[in-house]
């Protein structure tokens, strides 16, 4: 852990009990949605989380925010409120000194802590209450957390954040149905940032938008990060979008990390066959560059019956006998480049830099 670490996630585990009703009995099995995941996020950094649907990306984001309770591991917050001028004396007495063991917080203490971390949802259409004005939607976290009670203070803060998110003042009086998808997502971002959090989880926040609007939202998030120093956990299934946004990227497969590195390292020198396959599927804008996507056989396994040994062995084009028997160790194969594959050193998946 370095001095500028903001969020530390250690051996995070999320399991859900699943009840199957059989003819004469009921059976409960355990779904391992997230299994032994560790990473950190530095102040002002974006960490990308990428993987296929059902790999556990959203569950990790929600467990870190305590929107769901982790069943194991630790989430530790090392921040301090970064904008004390806005919330004079409203820091919450228990959080003046860090670290905060977020996974242990409950009740009122958890409620007081919530403004430090926030979430931008995937769907800008269903995540806004159609009966509330934009002003009230953006103000909601301030009022709910008790950070601000005076209407004038709240209005001033809402106007400031709305302007940063490129919303006009007249937008604040309208209802969500009057806006396009990109504008709605800017409202969602303003709501997430109004309490001046240190850390925001963006859960597939651009996936439902057109490509041109995606670029606009990614640029807005980067500008806001530069202005406020907020850190993002950016969850997406599209590696090219994650690359534009992230300083480091983690690749997830059936609830486990398979690779984690600085964005440039991961893109130009991937070490894991799954990352290599994902990268090969990104369309090239230059027609002179080779585009030969690797087709992985079969479906992503069900986490209820994850394969033994390396979870990727049922689809890996390079699998050997050992892969089904022994789980690969999570290890650092180059500075700040972690991978879980027995044979990572034997592969050369490097790609030309343009």
Q: Which of residues 179-198 bind ligand SF4 (CB under 6 A)?
A: none
Q: Which stretch binds ligand SF4 (CB under 6 A): 67-75, 120-128, 137-145, 335-343?
A: 335-343
Stretch that binds ligand SF4, among 82-90, 138-146, 202-210, 341-349 (CB under 6 A): 341-349
Closest approach, Cβ 312 to ligand SF4, in A, equals 5
Q: Which is nearer to ligand SF4, 154 or 310 (CB)?
A: 310
- At 135, phi and psi to the nearest 5? -60, -45
Name every residue whose Cβ is closer than 8 Å to that of residue 9 and which is 6 or more positions away in sequence.
37, 38, 39, 40, 60, 64, 73, 74, 75, 76
CB neighbourhood size of 39 (10 A) = 19
DSSP 8-state code for residue 7:
E
Segment 301 to 320, residues that bind ligand SF4, using CB under 6 A: 310, 312-313, 316, 318-319
Neighbouring C-alpha atoms within 13 Å toward the C-beta of 116:
28
| Sheet bearing 199-203, strands edge to edge | 117-120, 199-203, 231-236, 46-50, 248-253, 256-262, 337-339, 331-334
Take residue 213 and report the two structure tokens written for it.
Answer: 């609007």
**Total number of residues binding ligand SF4 (CB under 6 A)?**
13
Can residue 343 be called a binding residue for ligand SF4 (CB under 6 A)? yes
Q: Candidates 176, 255, 270, 328: give the one binding ligand SF4 (CB under 6 A).
A: 328
Looking at residues 102 to 131 of the shown chain, list those that interact with ligand SF4 (rule: CB under 6 A): none
> Shortest gap between Cβ of 307 and ligand SF4 (angstroms)?
9
Reduce the secondary structure of 150-210 to three states and give it as a string: CHHHHHHHHHHHHHHCCCCHHHHHCCHHHCCHHHHHHHHHHHHHCCCCCEEEEECCCCCCC
What is the nearest approach in angstroms of ligand SF4 to the Cβ of residue 333? 12
Query: What CA–CA distances, in Å, run from 235 to 64, 84, 107?
Result: 13, 29, 27
Rounded-to-integer distance, Cα 66 and Cα 277, Å? 32
The footprint of ligand SF4 on residues 28-47 (CB under 6 A) is none
For position 92 contacting ligand SF4 by CB under 6 A, the verdict is: no
* Contact between 240 and 271 (Cβ < 8 Å): no
Q: Does 273 bind ligand SF4 (CB under 6 A)?
A: yes
How far is residue 329's CA from residue 272's CA, in Å, rounded to a whole number?
13
Per-residue contact track with ligand SF4, 59 to 88, x per CB under 6 A?
Answer: ------------------------------
Q: Which is nearer to ligand SF4, 186 or 272 (CB)?
A: 272
Work out which of 47, 275, 323, 337 binds ligand SF4, going by CB under 6 A: 323
Give the C-alpha separation, 295 to 317, whole Å: 10
CB of 45 to ligand SF4, least distance (A): 27
Distance between CA 231 and CA 193 in Å, rounded?
A: 11
Residue 264 or 345: which CB sits closer to ligand SF4? 345
Alpha carbons 88 and 156: distance in angstroms, whole number? 14
The answer to whether 255 contacts ligand SF4 (rule: CB under 6 A) is: no
Q: Is position 277 an interface residue for ligand SF4 (rule: CB under 6 A)?
A: no
In the complex, minimum distance from the CB of residue 274 to ligand SF4, in angstroms, rounded to a whole number? 6
Nearer to ligand SF4, 51 or 141 (CB): 51
Question: Which residue ranges make up the site for ligand SF4 (CB under 6 A)?
Answer: 272-273, 310, 312-313, 316, 318-319, 323, 328, 341-343
């Amino acid at each position: 852990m370095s001095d500028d670490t903001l969020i530390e996630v250690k051996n995070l585990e999320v399991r859900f009990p699943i009840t199957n009703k059989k003819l004469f009995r009921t059976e409960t099995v355990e779904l391992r949605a997230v299994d032994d995941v560790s990473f950190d996020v530095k102040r002002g950094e974006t960490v990308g989380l990428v993987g296929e649907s059902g790999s556990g990306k959203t569950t990790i984001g929600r467990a870190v925010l305590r929107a769901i309770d982790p069943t194991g591991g630790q989430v530790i917050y090392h921040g301090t409120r970064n904008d004390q001028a806005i919330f004079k004396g409203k820091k919450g007495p228990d959080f003046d000194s860090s670290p905060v063991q977020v996974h242990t917080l409950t009740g009122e203490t958890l409620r007081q802590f919530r403004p430090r971390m926030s979430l931008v949802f995937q769907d800008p259409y269903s995540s806004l209450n159609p009966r509330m004005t934009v002003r009230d939607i953006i103000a909601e976290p301030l009022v709910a957390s008790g950070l601000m009670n005076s209407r004038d203070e709240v209005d001033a803060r809402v106007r400031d954040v709305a302007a940063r998110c490129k919303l006009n003042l007249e937008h604040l009086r309208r209802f969500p149905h009057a806006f396009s998808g990109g504008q709605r997502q800017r409202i969602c971002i303003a709501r997430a940032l109004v309490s001046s959090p240190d850390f925001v989880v963006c859960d597939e926040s651009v996936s439902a938008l057109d490509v041109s609007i995606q670029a606009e939202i990614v640029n807005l998030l980067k500008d806001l990060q530069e202005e406020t120093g907020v850190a993002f956990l950016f969850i997406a299934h599209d590696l090219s979008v994650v690359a534009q946004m992230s300083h480091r990227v983690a690749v997830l497969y059936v609830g486990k990390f398979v690779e984690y590195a600085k964005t440039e390292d991961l893109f130009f020198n991937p070490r894991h066959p799954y990352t290599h396959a994902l990268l090969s599927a990104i369309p090239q804008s230059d027609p002179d560059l080779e585009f030969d996507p690797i087709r992985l056989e079969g479906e992503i396994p069900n986490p209820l019956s994850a394969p033994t040994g390396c979870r990727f062995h049922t689809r890996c084009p390079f699998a050997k006998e050992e892969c089904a028997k022994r789980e690969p160790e999570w290890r650092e194969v180059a500075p700040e480049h972690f991978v879980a594959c027995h044979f990572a050193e034997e592969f050369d998946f490097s790609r030309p830099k343009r």
